[in-house]
Amino acid sequence: AQKVTQAQTEISVVEKEDVTLDCVYETRDTTYYLFWYKQPPSGELVFLIRRNSFDEQNEISGRYSWNFQKSTSSFNFTITASQVVDSAVYFCAHGSGSARQLTFGSGTQLTVLP
């Protein structure tokens, strides 16, 4: 069975600091997808990024960047120059190649202080 671990329960940073959210996964699948979702205080879950297991190329999108390393089964997410609006719960998720549902981590509550 798949398992996603987000060891950081809560993180607080001051605005403009960089912050990295950790995600470690366990899987027996050889093909899979990894996701990050954001849940702002309003409650809905918003898709941020998707990576498949064949693509370890890291990506930067504006203030966001992702570091996928199969060797350590990690898929970390970094926000550069954080802003108050980044305050939310961030979820890492695993999509199995053998099934269609996503398995979510427990989430990391990020608070960005002004």
Partner 1 sequence: DAGVIQSPRHEVTEMGQEVTLRCKPISGHNSLFWYRQTMMRGLELLIYFNNNVPIDDSGMPEDRFSAKMPNASFSTLKIQPSEPRDSAVYFCASSFWGFGEKLFFGSGTQLSVL
Binding footprint of partner 1 on the chain (CB under 8 A): 31, 33, 35, 37, 42-47, 50, 52, 91, 95, 97, 99-107
CB of 99 to partner 1, least distance (A): 7
12 versus 106: smaller Cβ distance to partner 1: 106
Give yes or no for a contact between 66 and 78, defined as CB atoms under 8 angstroms apart: yes
Q: Could you tell me whether strands 64-69 and 102-104 are parallel, antiparallel, or unpaired per DSSP bridges?
A: unpaired
Residue that the structure tokens 């108050």 belong to: 84
20 versus 40: smaller Cβ distance to partner 1: 40
CB of 81 to partner 1, least distance (A): 26
15 versus 49: smaller Cβ distance to partner 1: 49
Question: Residue 73's CB: how many other CB atoms inside 10 A?
Answer: 17
- Neighbouring-strand partners of residue 102: 95
